[in-house]
Amino acid sequence: MEGSIVTALKFLGAGLAMVGALGPGIGIGLIGLGAMQAVGRNPEAAPLVQTNMILAIVFAESVAIYALVVALILLFVV
């Protein structure tokens, strides 16, 4: 009985850890929105905007990867 409760709490914790992927998902969408608006207003700046957009997406995605790592640790290590 006690082992099943621990297992259930591990799965619950892993699921809650993945809630951390919501913020980066929304952030990446907003980054894309801003980049497309900037390119639409000034097409000559597209290469600079694209470089900065990709860099910002990488930083935002790293937070989601941390959440995934925490979830996997909860599932397979603890």
Q: Report in angstroms the alpha-carbon separations of 8 from 5, 13, 17, 68, 70.
A: 5, 9, 14, 18, 16
Task: Please tell me the predicted confidence (pLDDT) of residue 26.
Answer: 94
* Residue 77 confidence (pLDDT): 87
DSSP codes of every residue in 16-78: HHGGGGHHHHHHHHHHHHHHHHHHHH-GGGHHHHHHHHHHHHHHHHHHHHHHHHHHHHHHHT-
User: What is the reported pLDDT for 78?
Assistant: 79
- Per-residue pLDDT 10s for the chain (78 aa) are 778 898 999 999 999 998 988 999 999 999 999 999 999 999 999 999 999 999 999 999 999 999 999 999 999 987
Supply the pLDDT for residue 2: 75
| Tokens matching residue 48 | 């600079």
Domain count, the chain: 1
CATH number at residue 16: 1.20.20.10
- 70 is written with which tokens? 């925490």
Residue 18 domain boundaries: 2-76
* Token pair recorded at residue 53: 């957009």
Query: What pLDDT is attached to residue 34?
Result: 95
